[in-house]
Amino acid sequence: MAAHGKLRRERGLQAEYETQVKEMRWQLSEQLRCLELQGELRRELLQELAEFMRRRAEVELEYSRGLEKLAERFSSRGGRLGSSREHQSFRKEPSLLSPLHCWAVLLQHTRQQSRESAALSEVLAGPLAQRLSHIAEDVGRLVKKSRDLEQQLQDELLEVVSELQTAKKTYQAYHMESVNAEAKLREAERQEEKRAGRSVPTTTAAATEAGPLRKSSLKKGGRLVEKRQAKFMEHKLKCTKARNEYLLSLASVNAAVSNYYLHDVLDLMDCCDTGFHLALGQVLRSYMAAESRTQASQVQGLGSLEEAVEALDPSGDKAKVLEVHATIFCPPLRFDYHPHDGDEVAEICVEMELQDEILPRAQNIQSRLDRQTIETEEVNKTLKATLQALLEVVASDDGDVLDSFQTSPSTESLKSTSSDPGSRQAGRRRGQQQETETFYLTKLQEYLSGRSILAKLQAKHEKLQEALQRGDKEEREMSWTQYTQRKFQKSRHPRPSSQYNQRLFGGDMEKFIQCSGQPVPLVVESCIRFINLNGLQHEGIFRVSGAQLRVSEIRDAFERGEDPLVEGCTAHDLDSVAGVLKLYFRSLEPPLFPPDLFSELLASSELEATAERVEHVSRLLWRLPAPVLVVLRYLFNFLNHLAQYSDENMMDPYNLAVCFGPTLLPVPAGQDPVALQGRVNQLVQTLILQPDRVFPPLTSLPGPVYEKCMAPPSASCLGYTLGAAEGMGGPLEKSPPHPPCSALNLRDAQLESLGADNEPELEAEMLAQEDDLEGVVEAVACFAYTGRTAQELSFRRGDVLRLHERASSDWWRGEHNGVRGLIPHKYITLPEGPEPCISPEAVGLSGHRRRCLVPASPEQHVEVDKRRL
């Protein structure tokens, strides 16, 4: 019943979210429709004015009767300005919009006229009608470009809202894993308590006989509790990070929505009105000047028209439009935080493990915010200057018409002034106006985009500052001992160098995967994890080159089979780690994308429709080998996640495509790299934007999948813990020794099953292993180990190994169960004397180490002696 109630609540919250998004989509579509209607209203108005001028010129010679008929004709028209409900409401209220008010005054003034001169007819049929046509073209062009810009802003807004839903689902999934891990931990603790209760001895004889068995059971139960405790802490940390990202996305979305409704829409309406009122006023002023020269008796009517022209008010018209359409232009409700399944945390948490990540991120956002503020202010200044220049160009064009009529009122003089040089000059001015207009729209787009980024960064910055202030207070209350214990839990120790038959850098990745057993090569998995934990917000990641010496050191370490990013690397090495990742893919032979697919992939990038392009690329990628496709899916899901932080790291999908295009798809020999690089970058950008649609899902292509919220590397990601589980005789004996952490998630469930249900079998098997230690002992295994190549031997803890000779400082050539191969030196003890063999499981929460001592005789077991450092 409780589960049904929780499901109903979740469905209710989801329905509420979908309703809110649906309402926003309706508003956005209605906004586009309203702007189109306003533009159509202006164009129809200008068309009617132009037609009016031409017909007015035709009837000028017919005197008063023709003018009266013309005035009545246009006064009786009700549908030419549009038949929609909004247009009809504007016509019923002529004073609602200043252009329509001018139109009404003009008709009233026309009824007062009875005769016009031939010069006035020439002016009306010539320059003024042409100017109105130009204004109509300008209005149509501005409205179209403004609509495209608004459509782009709306798409970006809806994409941010969609990312919010993704962040919410990610958080819910990680929270569910955390709850499950906590339940398993509590179950393990209860079993441990029951086991401890049964272990109380009743008699001395019984205690003597069952002592070793109980101790072994208690140790295994304790290790199970510790393992589930570590698993719970890891899932809890992932849940916290996912919740933080959800809250940050929530704040960012609300800020972006508010910024769009309160600022962007108004600026786009101003953009649609750019120069319209001024140009219309200039045309009507020209008309008034002509009227004043030909008919002095019409001064009273011209005064009324002058008042109407002076009343042209762009800001007032905008306010009136917003008032009439208040429903579609009002900002929607803010998105609320929806906790998942009883999660009471409603704020960003800054735990000790996350401070090293959140504090630099807050500083990076602050720096980015300062720079973006300065850049936006500079763009705003340029925008205002460009607008002023554009208005001056619009005004100068109409002023020439007015000057020509005032200086030469006769018909012959007007014909002489319409010379070819004047037309060419007007054409140049018009070209200059269009160039200025294009530059103005470009700057407006930059300004609106920058202001949106500012709003989102400011929201994230405020949230992080509040969280850091709370975190500082909690940090003072937390003891240093607890923090040290957590750091010890995350300590990792490198494994000895491995020997592979295939090269890592400059080799064949598919053969390396088959040889090493790593679904995703360690260099790819480790570099991506390091950037996920330390560099998602790092400015210029993959674009800024790292230190060449450091890149070489990290590359050589990976080539030896080590993981240098476990410890010894800091956030200062981010650019070098990113350089190593690009160097690995760039040096692969053959490249990930074979040359025979190069032309087909580039051809698919030229398809216009996104869905068709994605489908075509997906079909082509299915021709790649499955191991290569798994790595590509892992890489591009990571790049897609990295691009979501472009507001902070300034690496949007296009910038990432520029960095990875030459690396992943080198242009084949004999073709022009300069001519093809743009298409290559476009293809890589498509893969970054659409990884879920391009690459096959997990059900079709099993393998590791990139996780957005990663935890710092723990002991569960090492071969030590896995080997220990294999030493117990579990079902993992043939699994590869160094899988990526994402692959270990599948194994954790199997390791956790080696709990209380299989306890009798585990105890019996451990006793059998100890009884098998007979004969001459040359070396004893301190820890379980799984060979990563065919040359390396696999053995369990406590196995007897026969050593033949020393192969290197890290390896022996030896024999185990009749099979010869390589044995790691750090996993064994030699009979010459005690030698410390420290493993991850030998370091407890208190920071104590355990030493493995060589047994004095083959019959003795490996003695574990705890010693404080």
Cα dist from 99 to 43, 308, 367, 514, 649, whole Å: 12, 8, 47, 75, 47
pLDDT band at 110; cut points 50, 70, 90: confident
Residue-wise pLDDT tens digits, 516-546 = 888 999 999 999 999 998 888 888 899 988 8
At residue 721, the pLDDT reads: 34
pLDDT, position 628: 92
φ, ψ dihedrals at 641, nearest 5° = -65, -40
In this structure, the chain runs to a length of 869
Reference 236, options 352, 66, 406; nearest CA is 352
- Mean pLDDT for 826-845 is 49
- For residue 206, give both structure tokens: 């019984």
Q: Which of 148, 121, 122 is nearest to 59 (CA)?
A: 121
Task: Look at residues 303, 484, 590 and name the one whose alpha carbon lies nearest to residue 848.
Answer: 484
- DSSP assignment of 65-97 equals HHHHHHHHHHHH--STT--SHHHHHHHH-TTSS
Residue with tokens 């030229």: 606
656 burial via Cβ count (<10 Å: 0-12, 13-18, 19+):
buried
Return the pLDDT at 67. 76
pLDDT at 482: 53
Tokens representing 255 are: 């800020």
The confidence score (pLDDT) of residue 489 equals: 45
Q: Above 90 in pLDDT, residue 38?
A: no
Alpha helices in 311-419 (DSSP H): 314-324, 326-329, 352-407, 411-417
Please classify residue 531 by burial: count the beta carbons closer than 10 Å to its beta carbon, then call 0-12 exposed, 13-18 middle and 19+ buried: buried
184: closest CA among 236, 219, 240? 236
pLDDT for position 687: 93
864 — pLDDT class (breaks 50, 70, 90): very low
In percent, the amount of the chain with pLDDT more than 70 equals: 74
Specify the range with the lowest mean pLDDT, choosing from 91-100, 148-157, 251-260, 446-455: 91-100
pLDDT at 422: 64
Proportion of the chain in helix, strand, coil states, percent, rounded to 5: 70, 5, 25
Residue-wise pLDDT tens digits, 749-803: 333 433 334 444 434 443 333 343 333 446 888 777 887 777 788 888 788 888 8
- Bridge partners, 850 (sequence order): 866
Tokens 């008699």 identify what position?
203
Name the band, by pLDDT with cuts 50, 70 and 90, for residue 328: confident
Question: What number of CA atoms fall less than 13 Å from residue 325's CA on the CB side?
Answer: 24
Q: What is the pLDDT of residues 642-681, one digit of tens each?
A: 999 888 888 999 999 999 998 898 888 888 888 888 889 9
Q: Rounded CA gap, 121 and 135, in Å?
A: 21
Report CA-CA distances (Å) from 521 to 236, 262, 853: 27, 49, 35
Query: Is 492 within 8 Å of 718 (Cβ atoms)?
Result: yes
CA angle 83, 85, 87 (to 5 degrees): 65
Tokens of 457: 């960064």
Rounded average pLDDT over 419-430: 73
Q: Cβ distance 404 to 417 under 8 Å? A: yes
User: Taking the alpha carbons of 385, 391, 394, 397 in that order, is the dihedral positive or negative?
Assistant: negative
- What is the band of 866 on the pLDDT scale with cuts at 50, 70, 90? very low
Mean of pLDDT over the chain: 75
Average pLDDT, integer, range 42-65: 80
Rounded-to-integer distance, Cα 398 and Cα 657, Å: 48
Q: Compute the distance between CA of residue 243 and CA of residue 677 in angstroms, rounded to an integer.
A: 40
Q: 3-state secondary structure string, 407-456?
A: HCCCHHHHHHHCCHHHHHHHHHHHHHHHHHHHHHHHHHHHHHHHHHHHHH
Tell me how far apart the alpha carbons of residues 171 and 242 are, in angstroms, rounded to a whole number: 5
Q: What is the 3-state secondary structure (H, E, C) of 209-252?
A: HHHHHHHHHHHHHHHHHHHHHHHHHHHHHHHHHHHHHHHHHHHH
> Does the pLDDT value for residue 848 go beyond 90?
no
Q: Would you state the pLDDT for residue 759?
A: 41
Of 633, 600, 634, residue with least CA distance to 617: 600
* CB burial of residue 428 (10 Å; 0-12, 13-18, 19+): exposed
For residue 689, the model assigns a pLDDT of 93
Contact assessment for residue 666 and residue 592, using Cβ atoms and an 8 Å cutoff = no
Tell me the CA distances in angstroms from 764 to 548, 619, 722, 755, one per residue in order. Answer: 54, 53, 20, 14
pLDDT band at 20 (very low <50, low <70, confident <90, very high): confident
Q: Which amino acid is at 321?
A: V
473-490 confidence digits (pLDDT tens):
666 555 444 544 444 444
Helix H segments across 560-672? 574-587, 598-605, 610-621, 626-643, 646-649, 653-664
